[in-house]
Amino acid sequence: MRETLILLPGWGLDGALLQPLAKALGGDMQVQVPALPRLSSAAAADWLDELDTRLPHDCWLAGWSLGGMLAAALAARRGERCRGLITLASNACFVASAAWPTAMPAQTYAAFYEGCQENAGATLKRFAMLCAQGCADTRGLSRQLQNHLAPSDEPSLLAGLRLLASLDNRAALAAFTGPQLHLLAEQDALVPAAAGDALLALLPTGEVDVLEACGHAFVLDQADALAALMLDFICEANDV
């Protein structure tokens, strides 16, 4: 029986964005792409409670951006009931602080949050452009991403942004003893690839790799390359 991999989407874009990656993985894995919770609460425990209730146990947890941060937190909560963890363009902390400086500057985040409050639709389009930045066909990919924008009137958009700012996965990543793979994008405009060394220092076991010449939307732009790396890692983990 093939192993199951849960692939969680990120903030602001629907799960259909991950279907090319899911398809590339699907020959070897049973891949599910569930939607993120739609909550007005920004409490991490509320999001994790819902995900823990509706996602199968004893599977691999993976996710992109916010989805990766939630996957990491859920993996730590499940412990031995999680087969392994893979994050894509995810950081331990999304917003920079003295304790974790390699992240989005707090002023940049604050301006982004204010923009979402004032005009969610415009902010989502800007987010799509930032996701595409650093990829080969930035304009074409940006237009493609805009076809996957989440509903602009959902209170969960703002809750998701507050969750991004508050999630601190340093302890979770250090506590999870299962196999971990964290893939970053060299030209990511939202999650700096420079966080890779700090991420690696947290892990009890695992790998951190940076894909060259791509940005935050490498889940769409580099789906085949990501799938190959993920499958190789899962095969190696299973052979141990």
DSSP at 55: S
Following DSSP, what letter does each residue of 80-108 receive, concatenated? GGEEEEEEES--SBSB--SS--SSB-HHH
Catalytic annotation on 148? no
Q: Per the residue annotation, which of 65, 90, 142, 156 is the catalytic one? A: 65
Check residue 240 and give its pLDDT: 55
Known active-site residue 188: yes
Maximum pairwise Cα distance, the chain: 51
97: its two tokens = 């602080």
**Of these residues, 90, 182, 216, 221, which one is catalytic?**
216
Residue 190, Cβ neighbours under 10 Å: how many? 25
List, for residues 94-110, the tens digit of each pLDDT value: 999 999 999 999 999 99
The DSSP letter of residue 149 is B
Average pLDDT over residues 65-88: 98
What does pTM read for this prediction?
0.97
Q: What is the pLDDT of residues 133-182, one digit of tens each?
A: 999 889 999 999 999 998 877 899 999 999 999 999 999 999 999 999 99
Q: What average pLDDT score do residues 40-66 get? A: 97
Could you say which of 153, 188, 197, 224 is catalytic? 188
Has 90 been annotated as catalytic? no
In the chain, how many domains are there? Answer: 1
Supply the pLDDT for residue 1.
53
**47: CATH:** 3.40.50.1820
pLDDT at res. 49: 98
**Domain assignment of residue 212, given as a range:** 2-237
pLDDT at residue 9 tops 60: yes
- In this prediction, residue 238 carries a pLDDT of 87
